């Protein structure tokens, strides 16, 4: 006989006053915060960590403290585009210029465009795009949607298992409740072996958010259209729009966003120095039509 580990939704998960009380309890348990840690630990942030740990204050506190230590060391808010731009040349991860039906930021991933094997560089690039996606969330939105296009994917272009594990760990441990849905679109059969290895790194909450979708399956089409407007959705995902990645234009957008990031985190001087040192990125001639990854 197996014991059920997770209890049904309790009152604190459904009653706003109980949730607010849990947030206050977690904030008190964390103790005094300062600087960027204080700026990071908003009430919304605390709610995400509580939700990720089923509203258990002790577990949420441990998780959040680990993130605070990680951010103090990794410094994701200080990563600038010029430091990771080489990872984005092929458009393997980029932010789309359209949103899903709920107005959430959309990240498009194309693992078939993978060109590097360095775990550290891959993780930094993913973290940079996660931070950028959060920066560009609409008011009232806290989550992003991922579209993963397997065109051109093969075992030779695939990133190592270790890199996948490290990326998943960062997402789950330090960006809880930031992922709304992830569509793995039309993966080849050979991907099944890789997926069997990777899925064990996913926690149950994240695992439920990963959906396989195939172009000839009606249920896949209906599910995709429930999340995305088919007019905006690129044809690579069964929509009517075209998908194009322009690295120069995307670079220009990211440099602009770096300035916004610096202002938000109070690091304007560092950002100005970095941009000055890499002025060629800021002065790229914009392409008149498509933005980064576009749907037109």
Interval 202-240: pLDDT, tens: 999 899 999 999 998 999 999 999 999 999 999 999 999
Q: What is the CA radius of gyration of the chain?
A: 20
Per-residue confidence (pLDDT) for residue 278, from 0 to 100: 41
**pLDDT > 70? residue 104:** yes
Per-residue confidence (pLDDT) for residue 283, from 0 to 100: 39
CA dist 278 and 275 (Å) reads 5
What angle (nearest 5°) sits at the alpha carbon of residue 35, between those of residues 63 and 72? 50
**pLDDT > 60? residue 102:** yes
Per-residue confidence (pLDDT) for residue 269, from 0 to 100: 47
The highest-confidence range among 12-21, 74-83, 242-251, by mean pLDDT, is: 74-83
Q: Please report which confidence band the pLDDT of residue 183 belongs to, taking 50, 70 and 90 as the band edges.
A: very high
**pLDDT > 80? residue 120:** yes
**pLDDT > 90? residue 157:** no
Average pLDDT, integer, range 179-205: 89
For the chain, give the mean pLDDT: 85
Average pLDDT, integer, range 79-99: 94
Angle of helix 57-74 relative to helix 161-174, nearest 10 degrees? 120
Per-residue confidence (pLDDT) for residue 117, from 0 to 100: 78
Q: Which domains does the chain have, with CATH numbers?
A: 11-74 (1.10.8), 77-282 (3.40.525.10)
Per-residue confidence (pLDDT) for residue 14, from 0 to 100: 66
Q: What are phi and psi of 232, to 5 degrees?
A: -90, -25
Q: What are phi and psi of 95, to 5 degrees?
A: -95, 130
3-state secondary structure the chain: CCCCCCCCCCHHHHCHHHHHHHHHHHHHHHCCCCHHHHHHCCHHHHHHHHHHCCCCHHHHHHHHHHHHHHHHHHCHHHCCHHHHHHHHCCCCEEEEEEECCCCCEEEEECHHHCCCCCHHHHHHHHHHHHHHHHHCCCCCCCCEEEEEECCCCCCCCCCCHHHHHHHHHHHHHHCCCCEEEEEEECCCCCHHHHHHHHHHHCCHHHHHHEEEECCCCHHHHHHHHHHCCCCCCEHHHCCCECEEECHHHHHHHHHHHHHHHHHHHCCHHHHHHHHHHCHHHHCCCCCCCCCCEEEC
Per-residue confidence (pLDDT) for residue 190, from 0 to 100: 85
CA dist 256 and 7 (Å) reads 46
Q: In what order do the strands lie in the sheet with 105-109?
A: 210-213, 179-185, 144-149, 105-109, 93-99, 293-295, 243-245
Q: 296 or 114, which is more confident?
A: 114
CA dist 115 and 156 (Å) reads 10
pLDDT more than 90, % of the chain? 66
pTM: predicted TM-score of the whole model, two decimal places: 0.84
Q: 4 or 119, which is more confident?
A: 119
Summarize pLDDT for 39-70 with one digit per residue, the tens: 999 999 999 999 999 999 999 999 999 999 99
Q: 244 or 287, which is more confident?
A: 244
């Amino acid at each position: 006989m197996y014991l059920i580990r997770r209890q049904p939704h309790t009152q604190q998960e459904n009653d706003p006053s109980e949730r607010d009380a849990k947030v206050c309890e977690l904030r008190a348990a964390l103790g005094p915060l300062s600087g960027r840690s204080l700026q990071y630990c908003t009430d919304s942030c605390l709610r995400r960590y509580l939700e990720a740990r089923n509203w258990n204050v002790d577990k949420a506190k441990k998780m959040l403290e680990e993130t605070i230590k990680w951010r103090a060391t990794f410094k994701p808010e200080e990563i600038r585009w010029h430091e990771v731009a080489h990872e984005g040349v092929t458009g393997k991860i980029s932010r789309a210029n359209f949103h899903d039906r709920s107005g959430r930021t959309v990240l498009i991933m194309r693992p078939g465009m993978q060109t590097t094997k360095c775990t550290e560089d891959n993780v930094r690039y993913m973290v940079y795009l996660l931070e950028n996606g959060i920066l560009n969330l609409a008011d009232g939105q806290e989550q992003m949607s991922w579209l993963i296009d397997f065109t051109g994917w093969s075992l030779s272009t695939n990133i190592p298992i270790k890199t996948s594990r490290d990326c998943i760990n960062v997402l789950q441990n330090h960006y809880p409740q930031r992922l709304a849905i992830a569509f793995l679109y039309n993966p080849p059969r050979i991907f099944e072996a890789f997926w069997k290895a990777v899925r064990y790194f996913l926690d149950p909450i994240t695992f439920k958010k990963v959906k396989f979708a195939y172009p000839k399956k009606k249920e896949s089409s209906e599910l995709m259209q429930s999340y995305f407007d088919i007019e905006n959705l690129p044809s690579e995902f069964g929509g009517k729009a075209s998908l194009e990645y322009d690295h120069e234009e995307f670079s220009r957008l990211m440099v602009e966003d770096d300035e916004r990031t610096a202002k938000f985190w109070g690091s304007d001087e560092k950002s100005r120095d970095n941009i000055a040192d890499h002025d060629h990125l800021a002065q790229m001639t914009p392409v008149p039509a498509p933005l980064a990854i576009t749907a037109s």
